[in-house]
Amino acid sequence: MNLRHAALAAGLLMATPSLADTHIDNIEGVSVMRDGTIDRFAGMVVDEDGRISELLDFGDRPTREIDYRIDGEGRTVVPGFVDGHLHLMELGLGTLVLDLSETNSLDEALSRIAAYAAAYPDRPWIIGRGWNQERWGLGRFPTAAELDEVVSDRPVWLQRVDGHAGWANTRALEAGGVTASTTDPEGGRIERLPGSRNPSGVLVDAAMPLIDDVVPPPLPEDRDLALHNAQNLLLRNGITAVADMGTSVEDWMTIRRAGDAGRLRVRVMSYADSVDTMLLIGGPAPTQWLYDDRLRLNGVKLYLDGALGSRGALLNADYEDDHGNRGLPLLSGTQLRNLMSRAALDRFQVAVHAIGDAANREALYAIEELSEDYSGDRRWRIEHAQIVDPADLVRFGQHGIIASMQPVHQTSDMMMAEARLGEDRLGGAYAWRSILEAGGHLAFGTDAPVEPVDPLAGLAVAISRTNAEGEPFGGWRPEETISREQALAAYTAGAAYAGFAEGRFGRLAEGERADFVMLSADPLMANADQIRDIEVLETWIAGQRVYDHELE
Amino acid sequence: MNLRHAALAAGLLMATPSLADTHIDNIEGVSVMRDGTIDRFAGMVVDEDGRISELLDFGDRPTREIDYRIDGEGRTVVPGFVDGHLHLMELGLGTLVLDLSETNSLDEALSRIAAYAAAYPDRPWIIGRGWNQERWGLGRFPTAAELDEVVSDRPVWLQRVDGHAGWANTRALEAGGVTASTTDPEGGRIERLPGSRNPSGVLVDAAMPLIDDVVPPPLPEDRDLALHNAQNLLLRNGITAVADMGTSVEDWMTIRRAGDAGRLRVRVMSYADSVDTMLLIGGPAPTQWLYDDRLRLNGVKLYLDGALGSRGALLNADYEDDHGNRGLPLLSGTQLRNLMSRAALDRFQVAVHAIGDAANREALYAIEELSEDYSGDRRWRIEHAQIVDPADLVRFGQHGIIASMQPVHQTSDMMMAEARLGEDRLGGAYAWRSILEAGGHLAFGTDAPVEPVDPLAGLAVAISRTNAEGEPFGGWRPEETISREQALAAYTAGAAYAGFAEGRFGRLAEGERADFVMLSADPLMANADQIRDIEVLETWIAGQRVYDHELE
């Protein structure tokens, strides 16, 4: 190599976003293997590509020459959390709407709405959520007329905190064609003014689509902003990689725009929202890893049933609180197998949403059958796997199945699950330990924005089966708790493995990307309450600091 | 920089696909500016990024140290042709179907069909084109029964050479639901067996969609192969960059797969097939240049009218050969302006297909009106601009309009144009010189696969207005011929400028990508016949040889 080349090469290196060799020193490093085995270390060396070249014990010196040294100040360092199941763009789009969840009176809400409308004069609709007339002490639903007083120039549409009602102004009612002569749709209700058929402004449940369906889709620039905001939320919570469940073509284009512009920081393992989308994007095979291991289309997300709350989950027997109802299949057994085959044929990965025990059985049986034709390392995923017949748990240990579960659902849903199923049918509910003991692979996620973006809350639930209030005392069906190490593994190496990303990220190990978080305490030395209080101090991806709590 | 860095940097450089500094020596280099000014040079130096760092005169030595030297053996070197208007995926998909255009008898065709079916047992349909019963001396259309003799296990559907008829076997007739009771659609004819209503197997014109519409879409792997084949065709013809007119979402995904895998060699300036596709891909703005200047979504292609052949082109007066008909607008004036506005709002480029004089006037007026709101460097494109009212020609010199024209259409269409319009209305037909003299920007293309992928044929037509047989003697309306230099400019620098690519490619100049072709003779020193005979010997993109005629 001549000198000119060397000079040119220096320019190349400086132009790359990565640092040169960096020694991150004076840390309490912890990483876990998928089986929960822990590694502890006191420092690591990160190379120019953002990969870990060396882990160091206390007192060790790096074997290669170092350009930069970072003092970790004795902080706990764990692998960046890998969120095995969330909805990236929905999380981001949620940040763009007006949040009324902290308002304590109708007047406060109205003034927030007025201020928001003034701040965004170009938005054709004002969209919001989170209001709660109970919290306001109002004793009744709010009205369109009250909304009209603060915004009358464009439609306003605000979802109630539970998502089961929407509050519209007159312009929104007009846009949705909701009038005195509109009849209540099945399963829905149009609230009416006293002594009149005139709509009052609130639409309940199945009446909500009357307006939802006329809300204009987000603008492209809103999508880009949404992805930006979603990434910030994730990084603030220590999440450095996600499995995006149900990527649409629009979502994919948005993610690629970010990747092309160098604005994709969080790693995304994508599961298309349909086989058509999967084939459109991937063509004859899953995509390669793009943008230095920051994006890959792995396969497809299929929906086999609905949720417990709406009694859409498929059960082996009647709902305890709705006799004669066993839920509604979203795919027939044949449809499920056909779609799974189409994906597996070209080695796309299949993730099947299954919540009820009948749905889980159907998914397990389908995997059993398809595994004959589609052998090898397929990593069939079952998403949620919430209610499993205890007799079926053993099947999670076969064919390399991945149980992609979200611990916080257990505490959010436990009372409802008891009502829906009765005590006796919950032997395989949120059965993390049983699945692990059966030999299944566990991947944890938040399911954001359905649940908060908070992997530490998930860890706390996983080891305690208690909610933030510590209830129920001793834990709900505590025989299914797992160890701290197992829980951390499911939120890091396990979720990475579930997306074919092992060896790239998910552990702090030589050759993997240096994605890590600095925490205010060690979650492997803390109880559930303490884990909930742990703060994410810094988040690093590929050896670069992408979040610092002090800069917020 | 320490030694370890230097070693590592050497590794990086070797891993890049480009050569190190290369001196291409002993060439007869020619490049043209957009105004037709020519540069001649005897050598060039290409850097590691595939850009030209230096042009050398005879006897000059490179100012920088050289790693490789290539002997050009005195060949003519011109910039890689930039095809200003073609249909990339259609060109490629056309290579995947059975070509019967060289068959000289029904028997020969049948044996070709049988061999093709045997070679592709997995193709669910056998699709082909190019048959001509006149060439076969058959004296009648072929029949389904004759096709059934060679392929009866799956549908066969073969387009006639002129695209105005299709030949189906029984399976294809069944798939299309074509039976004795099917009536002829308006504008189409189902050929019947003698003395019967039973379909004979050939469908004419508007009857063809009965089967076209049930042909399965290409498989993703077919799309990837199609793009590969299209690139090979282009490189063999010396084309190193193209404007893809009407990129669908599927097309875009296919091109990106190639780009991601390093298989995108030809540079693609993309114009989406609709405003929706444009917004889906680009989001809030045209994409950036991707893959080292190999792909950019510039904007959108809009269709204002149809073609002359089918009398769909919009005329200011009746068709000479169809009184009462002035063509059919595909967009109203308001629709056109709305779509142009939506694109221009976010600085997407607009390319309007306009063939008839009324369509060109409409496009020119729309540009005039929109230029007030959307000022600056917009490069409004009019695609084809075939028949322009002479009074409107001057408008091509305003608002930076680009006339994106395909010279070969002039010789293909001249007889038809006379029939459709009559002699007196052809004063602004294919009016290259008048448009240049008015100050318009000219970009040339092939319109492949509508016309052959042959820019040299286009150059020959541009300077002569005669076809390959030298007809008509002296040229058709020869006052509109342009100079060799102007024609080469329109096929290189002009077409690059039309896609906002000046400074990146289209010329052989310092700082531009080293995209060039070695030709068997200098087209600037040749007459039209000689230009048609010029061979493309080698094609280079970014300083790398991507086609060599000796390796074919």
**pLDDT digit string, tens, across residues B128-161:** 999 999 889 998 999 999 999 999 999 999 999 8
Inter-chain CB proximity A5 and B13 less than 8 Å: yes
B155 to chain A nearest CA, in Å?
Answer: 23
Per the CB < 8 A criterion, the answer to whether A245 and A301 are in contact is yes
Nearest to B295 by CA among A252, A272, A256: A256
pLDDT value at B235 more than 80: yes
pLDDT value at B438 more than 90: yes
Question: What's residue B64's pLDDT?
Answer: 87
CA dist B147 and B158 (Å) reads: 10
Per-chain mean pLDDT for chain B: 94
State how far Cα A3 lies from the chain centre.
50
CA dist A416 and A135 (Å) reads: 22
Number of neighbours of residue A423 by Cβ within 10 angstroms: 10
Mean pLDDT score, B268-294: 98
> pTM value?
0.90
Per-residue pLDDT of chain A (552 residues; tens, 9 = 90+): 333 333 333 333 333 344 579 999 999 999 999 999 999 999 999 999 999 999 999 989 999 889 899 999 999 999 999 999 999 999 999 999 999 989 999 999 999 999 999 999 988 999 999 999 988 999 899 999 999 999 999 999 999 988 889 999 999 999 999 999 999 998 889 999 999 999 999 999 889 999 999 999 999 999 999 999 999 999 999 999 999 999 999 999 999 999 999 999 999 999 999 999 999 999 999 999 999 999 999 999 999 998 888 888 999 999 999 999 999 899 999 999 999 999 999 999 999 999 999 999 999 999 999 999 999 999 999 999 999 999 999 999 999 999 999 999 999 999 999 999 999 999 999 999 999 999 999 999 999 998 999 999 999 999 999 999 999 999 999 999 999 999 999 999 999 999 999 999 999 999 999 999 999 999 999 999 999 999 999 999 999 999 999 987
Q: Where are the beta strands (DSSP E) in A100-145?
A: 126-131
pLDDT value at B209 more than 60: yes
B15 pLDDT tier (thresholds 50, 70, 90): very low
Nearest to B33 by CA among B431, B458, B503: B503
B162 pLDDT tier (thresholds 50, 70, 90): confident
A430 to chain B nearest CA, in Å?
Answer: 39
The beta-carbon neighbor of A260 closest among B8, B223, B290 is B290
The residues near B345 (Cβ < 8 Å, ≥ 6 apart) are B374
B366 to chain A nearest CA, in Å?
Answer: 26
3-class state of residue A50 by DSSP: coil
CA dist B482 and B463 (Å) reads: 5
Per the CB < 8 A criterion, the answer to whether B406 and B444 are in contact is yes
Q: By CA distance, what is A3's nearest residue in B?
A: B6
The beta-carbon neighbor of B9 closest among A12, A220, A280 is A12
What is the count of residue pairs from A and B with beta carbons less than 8 Å apart? 83
Number of neighbours of residue A542 by Cβ within 10 angstroms: 23
Question: What's residue B529's pLDDT?
Answer: 97
State how far Cα A363 lies from the chain centre.
21
CA dist B249 and B393 (Å) reads: 35
Question: What's residue A435's pLDDT?
Answer: 98
Question: What's residue B164's pLDDT?
Answer: 82
Inter-chain CB proximity A287 and B260 less than 8 Å: yes
Q: By CA distance, what is A225's nearest residue in B?
A: B284
Q: Which residues of B touch A (CB under 8 A)?
A: 1-2, 4-10, 12-13, 20, 48, 64-65, 219-221, 223-224, 249-250, 253-254, 256-257, 260-261, 279-284, 287-288, 290
What is the enclosing helix (H) or strand (E) of B404?
strand B402-405
Give the burial string for A482-518 (b: 16+ CB within 10 Å, else e): bebbbbbbbbbbbbbbbbbbbebbbbbbeebbbbbbb
3-class state of residue B166 by DSSP: strand
Mean pLDDT score, B466-494: 97
Query: How far is the CA of A373 from the CAs of A302, A345, A347, in angstroms?
Result: 19, 9, 12
Ramachandran category for residue A435: left, alpha or beta (phi over 0 → left; psi -120 to 50 → alpha): alpha
Question: What's residue A18's pLDDT?
Answer: 43
CA dist B504 and B542 (Å) reads: 10
B255 to chain A nearest CA, in Å?
Answer: 11
